[in-house]
Amino acid sequence: MDKILRTLICDGQVSLAVLETTELVNRAVEIHKTTPAASALLGGLLTCGAYIASSLKSTRGSVSLTVKAKDGDGAVSVSADADLHMRGYADGTCSHTLKCGALTVVREDGFSTRPFVGTCEILSDDISEILETYFGQSEQIPTAVALSTEFDNDGKCVWSGGVVMQLLPGASENSIWEATNVFDQFKDRDSIAGRHKVLTDAKVILEDVFRPYVSGEVSTLFPEYKCNCSEEKIRDVLASVGKAELLKICDELGEVKVHCHYCNKDYIYGRKRIEEIF
């Protein structure tokens, strides 16, 4: 089962999250039938989104992340709420490099009226580096990220997850040194995926690598692919379009079809159902 384990390490001066999002990525691939390049990008971004969502303090909070390639081939969008209900989609094949594209993060913290919008240029194709750059530039939080998403030859995700560490304000030199060391140890096991037979569980990673450094309670969160679209919401959207316009479309096309990009579901309304809305 997918999970995110969060705790403090190094005298409580560094936050640690160990993520396991393999099922989430497989669900997204299954829904969207993505190309390998798009699967990797969507999977990586869902994992980043799950991390940011796991930091939300209010149950009303939400976050969305979008990456856009500069040449226009491939935009990937992901959104999440504070319950870690995740959804996303990939537009295009994402076959080109992301470099020189941009990452935009929109975060509703659930307390203020305006969302926080952060953006950064993408300097690498590696999702870990993209997230590090984002936190450094847009939020000024020193962050170390080692996330990976690996697939077998049939396109099935065999491992997605890894580690995100962030320095808390005022972290001492000693804690920074210790945190850097343990992070390097974790990364040093070559790619995490290279060991995925052993490290396919966030709990094992926490125990195996980080246990001696843990200095706080460990909380566990469960990310899950879940779209929040519903018949009710679609009806609200259609009501705002207006009856005359909908009936016109219905006359021309035989039906009104609303497609949800996130879960790939079609909502179909014939004449009778349109009449019912009004």
Residues 48-67 that bind Zn ion (CB under 5 A): none
- By CB under 5 A, residue 229 contacts Zn ion: yes
Task: Give the range of 60-68, 106-114, 225-233, 242-250 binding Zn ion by CB under 5 A.
Answer: 225-233
The phi and psi torsions of 74 (rounded to 5 degrees) equal: 110, 115
Nearest distance from C-beta of residue 45 to Zn ion, angstroms: 17
Task: Give the range of 17-25, 91-99, 196-204, 255-263 binding Zn ion by CB under 5 A.
Answer: 255-263
Nearest distance from C-beta of residue 147 to Zn ion, angstroms: 25
Residues 149-208 that bind Zn ion (CB under 5 A): none
Nearest distance from C-beta of residue 150 to Zn ion, angstroms: 27
Which residues lie across from 224 on neighbouring strands?
Answer: 85
Task: Give the range of 102-110, 155-163, 185-193, 259-267 binding Zn ion by CB under 5 A.
Answer: 259-267
| DSSP H helix total and E strand total for the chain | 8, 13
Nearest distance from C-beta of residue 199 to Zn ion, angstroms: 32
Question: Is the CB of 93 or the CB of 230 nearer to Zn ion?
Answer: 230
Question: Is the CB of 49 or the CB of 161 nearer to Zn ion?
Answer: 49
Task: Give the range of 47-55, 127-135, 201-209, 263-271 binding Zn ion by CB under 5 A.
Answer: 263-271
Task: Give the range of 105-113, 119-127, 155-163, 219-227 binding Zn ion by CB under 5 A.
Answer: 219-227
Nearest distance from C-beta of residue 269 to Zn ion, angstroms: 16
Task: Give the range of 1-9, 172-180, 192-200, 223-231 binding Zn ion by CB under 5 A.
Answer: 223-231
Query: Residue 156: CB partners within 8 Å, gap ≥ 6?
Result: 26, 29
Q: Which one of 127, 263, 267, 274 is in contact with Zn ion (CB under 5 A)?
A: 263
- By CB under 5 A, residue 225 contacts Zn ion: no
The DSSP line for the chain is --EEEEEEETTTTEEEEEEE-HHHHHHHHHHH---HHHHHHHHHHHHHHHHHHHT--STT-EEEEEEE-TTSS-EEEEEEETT-EEEEEEES---S--TT-EEEEEEE-SSSSSPEEEEEE---S-HHHHHHHHHHHHS---EEEEEEEEE-TTS-EEEEEEEEEEEPTT--HHHHHHHHHHHHHHHHSS-GGGGTTT--SHHHHIIIIIGGGB-S--EEE--EE-----HHHHHHHHHHH-HHHHHHHHHHHSSEEEEETTTTEEEEE-HHHHHHH-
Q: Which one of 227, 238, 250, 274 is in contact with Zn ion (CB under 5 A)?
A: 227
- By CB under 5 A, residue 258 contacts Zn ion: no
Q: Two tokens at 57?
A: 């303090």
- By CB under 5 A, residue 262 contacts Zn ion: yes
How many CA atoms are closer than 13 Å to the CA of 4, on its beta-carbon side? 28
Q: Which one of 106, 141, 249, 260 is in contact with Zn ion (CB under 5 A)?
A: 260
Nearest distance from C-beta of residue 264 to Zn ion, angstroms: 8
- Residues of this chain that bind Zn ion (CB under 5 A): 227, 229, 260, 262-263
